[in-house]
Structure 1
Amino acid sequence: MFDINFVPESMKAPTASKLDRLEAASETNLRYGYFGTTVSIVTDGFGTESLHGTPALDFVFCLLYAVRKVRDGVVGSVSFTEDDTLINFTPANGRVMVTRSWDAVPGYCDTAQLVEVSIGFSEEVVDFIVRRYPSFGRNPTYGKLMSIVEELKAG
């Protein structure tokens, strides 16, 4: 079993000056300086892990890159820039072991489920941001994220 969710109500609104620059903000600024939220990961094994104040777009980028690696048969990771914690996704025989650097209890899921849920989560986060802040849809980072999602959907 595998699921990832975010709490839309927890997403921190950008300041007025950040909103004014949203359409032209750099990928780096968007990844680390905008849209902090609560993300929850659920697996067979460790159950539910909630991550508060997580930069939503950075998490989405890291997750999509990790899924790309897992699909290619190698370990993928989600790292957190604010500290040295990691979530690793280790593929083996159609399954994925999900480990967290701060807890020894692993979680497990099917590779196909990891890919499907991660794509759905990423689309949900990005769609929420675009609905709330339409100018993000005109930012090149939006196009980059959607391109990665489409690549993963195509297999």
Structure 2
Amino acid sequence: MKIGFPPDSRSDIGAGWAQAWQAGRVDLAALSATDLRYGFFDYPVDFIVDGHAFLAASRTPLVDIMFTLGLSLHGLRTAGSAEIDFTENSYVIRLERAGDQVRFTASYGAPTPSPRCSLDAYTSAVRSFVADGVEYLERHHPALARNPAMQELRELAGI
């Protein structure tokens, strides 16, 4: 199980925010979680389970994928299933508990049999990914440490 991202500061600010950012009118501490999820920090994200790359360096908004993964932990604990979906396309990764394992399928391109990992391994990978993402973003953009969305991410992932 591997979830990771190589930071790429060239894509920290979405095109819709570039002028405001350059003019100094963007206060990262005051932005809504929605704005952070969809307007900033598009990085290549790897999501690999049992040798299968569900995401292989696909550019996705980092804050959004961190929220989605955190929510997937909640769904696995409470309902035994969860989905990782993407606003920008129809691709969906479905997660289903099978005892102490999590089975991963996708709307397309998933191998048979479905890749699996332990629930503990998935939980650990998500928590590490969110912790690394939050730490990186707050180190490079200190105002984010004051944004309530970052605390919400910590709580969601249990870090």
Whether TM-score is above 0.5 comes out as: yes
Is residue 79 of structure 1 aligned with residue 102 of structure 2?
A: no
Where 1:53 maps in the other structure, the secondary structure is: strand
Rounded Cα–Cα distance in structure 2 between residues aligned with 1:55 and 1:103: 22
Is residue 67 of structure 1 aligned with residue 70 of structure 2?
A: no
Output one character per residue of 1:8-52: Cα deviation in whole Å (capped at 9) or x when no partner: 136612236246221111111110111001110121152563142
Is residue 55 of structure 1 aligned with residue 61 of structure 2?
A: yes
Q: From the superposition, tell whether residues 146 and 47 of structure 1 become closer, same or farther in structure 2 (CA, over 3 Å).
A: closer
Stretches of structure 2 that go unaligned for 5 or more consecutive residues are none
Counterpart position of 2:141: 133
Shift of 1:72: 2.7
Is residue 34 of structure 1 aligned with residue 46 of structure 2?
A: no
CA contact (8 A) 1:36 1:54 kept: yes
Counterpart position of 2:20: 17
Q: What amino acid is the match of 1:143? A: Q
Q: From the superposition, tell whether residues 114 and 5 of structure 1 become closer, same or farther in structure 2 (CA, over 3 Å).
A: same
Rounded Cα–Cα distance in structure 1 between residues aligned with 2:102 and 2:46: 18
Is residue 91 of structure 1 aligned with residue 97 of structure 2?
A: yes
Q: From the superposition, tell whether residues 65 and 54 of structure 1 become closer, same or farther in structure 2 (CA, over 3 Å).
A: same
Q: What amino acid is the match of 2:108? A: W
Q: What amino acid is the match of 1:7? A: P
Rounded Cα–Cα distance in structure 1 between residues aligned with 2:75 and 2:29: 30
CA contact (8 A) 1:11 1:37 kept: no
Q: What amino acid is the match of 1:96? A: V
Rounded Cα–Cα distance in structure 1 between residues aligned with 2:101 and 2:35: 34
Where 1:23 maps in the other structure, the secondary structure is: coil
Counterpart position of 2:126: 118
Q: How many pairs were matched up?
A: 150
The structure with the largest alpha-carbon Rg is 2
Stretches of structure 1 that go unaligned for 5 or more consecutive residues are none
Where 1:8 maps in the other structure, the secondary structure is: coil
Say what the alpha-carbon RMSD is for the aligned residues: 1.9
Identity across matched positions, percent: 27
CA contact (8 A) 1:39 1:52 kept: yes
Rounded Cα–Cα distance in structure 2 between residues aligned with 1:95 and 1:68: 15
Output one character per residue of 1:93-143: Cα deviation in whole Å (capped at 9) or x when no partner: 111111121213131100111001100101101110000000011111111
CA contact (8 A) 2:5 2:57 kept: no
